[in-house]
Amino acid sequence: MTPDGARDVLHLRAGQAGVTDVHPHRFRHTFAHRWLAGGGQERDLIILAGWRSDDMLSRYAASTAVERAHDAHRRLGLGERRDPATGSVSGRSLVDGVTGSPAAFRGGDRRAA
């Protein structure tokens, strides 16, 4: 099957399923996000995706970088709030409720909460 044929089948099946805005390239972004969110190494992703520069990693991973950072923070349990009187953990992370674009965490976007 040609690349155009694969794209046509994808669009046909997406239409049948009622899914909009589907294109083959989106799967590369999903793959990159799931790889990194699952604990995969960046260097391995670069090799598997066939990228020649770190710039591609930044481009593909940027759209979900904030989500991955929050997930990692919660998983590691760093910065949990403790009640000084009892020493118990409140169950709420310091990053709960923090939003923003990847640029916010690079210092380029001052809108982050």
Rounded mean pLDDT for each run of 10 residues along the chain, 113 residues in total: 91 94 86 89 93 89 83 78 68 56 46 41
- For the chain, how many structural domains are there in total? 1
- Between the CA of residue 40 and those of 43, 48, 56, what are the distances in Å? 9, 11, 16
What pairs with residue 89 in β-bridges? Answer: 82
What pairs with residue 82 in β-bridges? Answer: 89
* pTM as predicted: 0.57
Predicted pLDDT of residue 35: 92
CA distance 61 to 68: 9
* 16 phi-psi bin (left φ>0, alpha ψ -120 to 50, beta other): alpha
How many Cα atoms within 13 Å fall on the side-chain side of residue 61? 22
| Range(s) of the domain holding residue 72 | 3-79
- Domain assignment present for residue 53? The answer is yes
- Domain assignment present for residue 29? The answer is yes
Predicted pLDDT of residue 109: 45
Predicted pLDDT of residue 72: 82
- Domain assignment present for residue 34? The answer is yes
**Neighbour-count burial of 56, counting CB atoms closer than 10 A to its CB (0-12 exposed, 13-18 middle, 19+ buried):** middle
- Domain assignment present for residue 47? The answer is yes
Predicted pLDDT of residue 76: 80
- Domain assignment present for residue 97? The answer is no
